[in-house]
């Protein structure tokens, strides 16, 4: 049994219905690399179980102290069942990129079950209508509570459930250790620990208050002396700062890593600066297209910092700080904006590392959950974030993944996309992830704030292309390399693949009908010149027009009671013949991958 750290407890205390505090990831896999050319669902389950046995943290659940008097504890769950956390689903028709994004957004919007280990994974099949992906591929969406992992920890979890080769030999596997569990503490034990910890926590809180007060004083003095750049709090409010609701949208763009490196080398900046500049250009373009761009000022973004490399490693699962920087969206020229972003991020990191405000999130974990949860609820319900002077439009996190392929149950990972958390007053999150020669830039947003993520995807691609053209033109290269070009056809073809097929079929049918009609009219003109067969075309058309009157006349002569049902059956017969056309639309087995159970 282990008590949560201050920062880990902060994410538990900030959990709200509209802003659940979990992060996620979406990987797409090609099963052709598996030993048998396909992957069974039970293989995925056994792989997860084998891997997670090496990391007890993902078999632990949360035990809260009665009354919220103290920080909660992690307890190894004796009833842990990996099959509860792994779910097998398929995309609805038509199973294209848009359907995948909608499904992932819905899954990410649902809060985790806080009474069980705080993670879930969904194996999603039915991706065959997404162009550019291998035949029979499937996706794995995972979500984990932020109290378990931060950005760096999330990449560690990704490495935990993957292999370096498609079929690892048994010699490479470690001997499975016996699974240890904790005895669940009683209420009396938790309350007794809380009473002792309250004294320690009070003393620690007083020391932290004094330390932070001195740190803030030094920081203010250094800013006044111009030794540290002052933080920019002049960012305007936009539609991106509205209240966050319970629904989400998700989309992502794929870029070649070669293109990012070309921009980086041409301008002498970092990959992170390139990503921030692309996001800034895309946000400005999106707001302009919606007539919501600010009249003056630049948008600002929050930038998470990995404090492991700055203060050393601690026992907390989360070791992350946060600073914010201007995206200089008021600068039109892409290259000038990139250079301004580079300078702003450098100043933000320099001032942020020396400021106690980098750890402002710890305030939510320093007090007891009873106090913090109540305050977080009041803050969220009353939208008090709108009163803050700092208007952060989005958070942009950059995680560097491996430059070599990974495998899950033998299936090669093709792409990977990250998903973050939204907070009250900040309804947009960007995750940049590099893997095996690609850079994916995914966006998670509130559905009311960004109802059209497809439009924003277009803005991201346009921003990248404009920045690449400006950087390479300044470098004297000019033309875009083939490897640096963006292939944005995945969603376009997926949206138009089925309609195009139907349109072609209809066009062919219409063409054949018009051709036959032309032939018939030609024959009619030829026969019209001959008097012997001058009435032949009239006789062909006459049965079509005179069918109904002939039947009516026959109906008058015969008994009406007997002919009435015949008319009804004659009219209903053609309607029943349309049924096979509806069955074609529901023929799911033709598009579903063979991910066998």
CA-wise closest residue to 367 among 148, 193, 204, 146 = 204
The sign of the CA dihedral 184, 189, 195, 201 is: negative
- Helix 536-557 with 489-528: angle, nearest 10 deg: 100
- DSSP-derived 3-state class of residue 50: helix
CA angle 451, 386, 11 (to 5 degrees): 80
CA distances to 197, 472, 564, 572 from 559, in Å:
98, 88, 9, 21
Q: Catalytic annotation on 108?
A: no
- DSSP-derived 3-state class of residue 125: strand
Rounded to whole angstroms, the Cα distance separating 3 from 415 reads: 36
CB 19 within 8 A of CB 56: no
Rounded to whole angstroms, the Cα distance separating 124 from 100 reads: 9
DSSP for 129-140 reads TSTTSPTT-EEE
Rounded to whole angstroms, the Cα distance separating 7 from 18 reads: 21
CA angle 570, 574, 576 (to 5 degrees): 110
Structure tokens at 33: 């690399």
- 22, 85, 146, 162: the catalytic one is 146
State which H helix or E strand residue 555 sits in.
Answer: helix 536-557
Cβ neighbors of 398 (< 8 A, separation 6 or more) are 271, 272, 275, 432, 433
CA distances to 232, 285, 552 from 392, in Å:
11, 17, 76
Q: For the chain, give percent helix, strand, coil, nearest 5.
A: 50, 15, 35
Rounded to whole angstroms, the Cα distance separating 176 from 174 reads: 6
Which residues are known catalytic residues? 146
């Amino acid at each position: 049994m282990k008590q949560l750290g201050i920062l880990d407890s902060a994410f538990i205390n900030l959990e709200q219905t509209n802003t659940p505090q979990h992060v996620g990831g979406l990987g797409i896999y090609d099963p052709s690399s598996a030993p048998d050319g396909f992957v069974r669902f039970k293989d995925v389950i056994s792989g997860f179980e084998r891997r997670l046995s090496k990391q007890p943290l993902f078999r632990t659940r949360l035990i809260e102290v009665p009354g919220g008097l103290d920080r909660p504890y992690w307890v190894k769950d004796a009833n842990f069942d990996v099959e509860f956390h792994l779910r097998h689903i398929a995309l609805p028709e038509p199973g294209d990129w848009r359907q995948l994004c909608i499904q992932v957004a819905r899954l990410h919007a649902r809060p985790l079950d806080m009474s069980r280990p705080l993670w879930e994974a969904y194996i999603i099949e039915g991706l065959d209508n997404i162009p550019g992906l291998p035949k029979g591929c499937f996706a794995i969406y995972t979500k984990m509570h932020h109290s378990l992992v931060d950005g760096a920890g999330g990449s560690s979890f990704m490495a935990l459930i993957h292999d370096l080769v498609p079929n690892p030999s048994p010699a490479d596997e470690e001997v499975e250790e016996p699974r240890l569990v904790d005895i669940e503490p009683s209420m009396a034990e938790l309350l007794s620990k809380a009473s002792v910890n309250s004294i320690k926590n009070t003393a620690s809180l007083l020391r932290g208050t004094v330390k932070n007060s001195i740190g803030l004083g030094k920081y203010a003095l250094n800013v006044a002396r111009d030794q540290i750049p002052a933080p920019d709090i002049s960012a305007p409010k936009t539609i991106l700062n509205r209240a966050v609701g319970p629904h989400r949208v998700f989309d992502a763009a794929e870029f070649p890593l070669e293109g990012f490196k070309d921009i980086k080398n041409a301008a002498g900046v970092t990959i992170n600066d390139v990503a921030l500049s692309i996001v800034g250009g895309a946000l400005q373009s999106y707001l302009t297209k919606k007539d919501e761009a600010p009249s003056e000022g630049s948008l600002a973004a929050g930038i998470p910092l990995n404090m492991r490399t700055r203060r050393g490693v601690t026992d907390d699962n989360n070791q992350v700080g946060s600073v914010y920087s201007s995206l200089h969206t008021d600068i039109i020229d892409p290259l000038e904006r990139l250079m301004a972003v580079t300078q702003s991020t450098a100043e933000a990191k320099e001032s942020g590392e020396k400021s106690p405000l980098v750890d402002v999130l710890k305030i939510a974990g320093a007090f007891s959950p009873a106090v913090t949860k109540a305050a977080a609820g009041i803050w969220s319900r009353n939208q008090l974030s709108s009163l803050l002077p700092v208007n952060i439009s989005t958070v942009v996190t950059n995680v560097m993944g491996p430059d070599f392929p990974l495998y899950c149950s033998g299936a090669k990972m093709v792409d990977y996309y990250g998903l973050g958390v939204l907070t009250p007053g900040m309804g947009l999150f960007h995750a940049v992830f590099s893997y095996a020669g690609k850079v994916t830039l995914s966006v998670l947003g509130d559905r009311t704030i960004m109802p059209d993520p497809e439009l924003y995807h277009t803005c991201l691609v346009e921003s990248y292309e404009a920045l690449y053209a400006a950087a390479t033109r300044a470098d004297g290269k000019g033309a875009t390399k083939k490897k640096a070009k963006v292939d944005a056809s995945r969603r376009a073809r997926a949206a138009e693949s089925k309609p195009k097929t139907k349109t072609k079929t209809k066009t062919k049918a219409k063409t054949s009908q018009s051709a036959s009609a032309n032939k018939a009219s030609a024959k009619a003109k030829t026969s019209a010149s001959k008097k012997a067969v001058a009435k032949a075309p009239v006789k062909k058309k006459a049965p079509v027009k005179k069918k109904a009157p002939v039947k009516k006349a026959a109906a008058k002569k015969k008994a009406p009671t007997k002919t009435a049902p015949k008319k009804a059956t004659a009219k209903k017969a053609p309607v029943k013949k349309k049924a096979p056309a509806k069955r074609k639309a529901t023929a799911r087995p033709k598009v579903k991958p063979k991910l066998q159970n």
